[in-house]
Amino acid sequence: MSPNNAGSMRSLKVGGIAPFTATDYPGKLAAVIFVQGCPWRCGYCHNPHLQSRTGEGAVPWPQIMQLLERRVGLIDAVVFSGGEATTDSMLGDAIRAVRELGFSIGLHTAGAYPNRLAALLPLLDWVGFDIKAPFDGYHRVTSVGDSWRQAHNSARLILASGIPYEFRTTIHPSLLGEEDILSLAQTLQHMEVRNYALQLFRAQGCADAGLKAVSTAGYPGKALLEQIAAMFAQFTFRSA
Ligand code: SF4
C-alpha cells in the first residue's frame, strides 16, 4: 500500500511514538510506534495507559506516516510496540506501508495473539518477545488464566520462523523467585532459544504501588546470572 493511502488506515490505534531510539532494535536507530490495546494486565506494565483502546487513537495514523517520511535516511528501522501491538487487526497493513518507506521492521510482542502473529511474521525483520514466567505460573504475572497457552504457541512460531529475535523476561522478586527464573531459563534452553535477556523491573511508569515498594537490591544473585548466561549463545542482563 502506498504511503499516500495512509489515510485509509485510520483504525490503527496509536497511543504515541518515540521518533528516535538506539535501544529498541538491536544495532539500528529506530522509531517506536506504541499501539493501543492489550488483553493482559501485568502489574509491572510500563504503559498501563495503553492497555485500553480509545475511539480514534491518540495520534492519527496519517500523522505517523508523515513523521516517518521525514525520518527516511535518518533512522534504519521502525518498531511496533504497545500495549500489545498484535491486538490491532490493522497492524499488518500498517507494517506494509512502513516497509514501503524502506525501513526494517521490528515487533515487540508478548504473543497474546499467536494466529495474528503467524500472519505478521513474514513481514518482520526482528522480534522482541516478552516471555513472562514459567508457563505453569503465567497467570501470576498476566492476571489471565490461559495466557501461557498463547505465549507458548507464539514462542514456537517465532523460533520456527528463522527471524532474528530476543526473548526477554522482566523480573521482580514478588513475581518471580530465583527458582522461577531458573525454571523458565531451563524451559527456554530446552526450546532451543539462543538469545535471551533478563530485565530488572523498573518503577518508571508502573502503576502498582505494591511492586514499587519492594526493594530489588541483590536480586537476582550473581551466581544465578552466571548459571543462566552459560545456557544461551547470547545472554544479556539489564539492570534498572
Ligand atoms: S503484556 Fe505488556 S502491554 Fe500488556 S499488560 Fe503486560 S506489560 Fe503491559
Q: Write down the pLDDT at residue 55.
A: 76
In which element (H, E) is residue 17 found? strand 14-21
Pocket of ligand 1 (CB under 6 A): 38, 40-42, 45, 47, 51, 82-84, 110
Pocket test for ligand 1, best of 51, 143, 204 (most atoms within 8 A of CB): 51
Phi-psi domain of 83 (left: phi exceeds 0; alpha: psi -120 through 50; beta: other): left
Which ligand 1 atom sits closest to the C-alpha of 112? 1
Q: How far apart are CA 201 and CA 22, in angstroms?
A: 20
Q: Write down the pLDDT at residue 11.
A: 76
Q: What is the pLDDT of residues 5-61, one digit of tens each?
A: 444 445 799 999 999 999 999 999 999 999 999 999 999 999 999 999 887 778 999
Q: Write down the pLDDT at residue 58.
A: 86
Query: pTM for the whole thing?
Result: 0.94
Q: Write down the pLDDT at residue 173.
A: 96
Q: Name which residue sits closest to atom 8 of ligand 1, judged by CA.
A: 45
Q: Name which residue sits closest to atom 6 of ligand 1, judged by CA.
A: 42
Per-residue pLDDT of the chain (240 residues; tens, 9 = 90+): 444 444 444 579 999 999 999 999 999 999 999 999 999 999 999 999 999 988 777 899 999 999 999 999 999 999 999 999 999 999 999 999 999 999 999 999 999 999 999 999 999 999 999 999 999 999 999 999 999 999 999 999 999 999 999 999 999 999 999 999 999 999 999 999 999 999 999 999 999 999 999 999 999 999 999 999 999 999 999 996
Q: Is the dihedral of CA 98, 104, 105, 108 positive or negative?
A: negative
Q: Ligand 1 centre and the CA of 45: distance in Å?
A: 5
Q: Ligand 1 centre and the CA of 157: distance in Å?
A: 20
Nearest residue to 69 (alpha-carbon basis) of 6, 138, 144, 149: 6
Q: Name which residue sits closest to atom 3 of ligand 1, judged by CA.
A: 83
Which ligand 1 atom sits closest to the C-alpha of 170? 7
Q: Write down the pLDDT at residue 21.
A: 96
Whole-angstrom CA distances from 238 to 20, 61, 150, 158, 169 are: 20, 32, 26, 22, 10
- Cell readout for 17 is 511514538
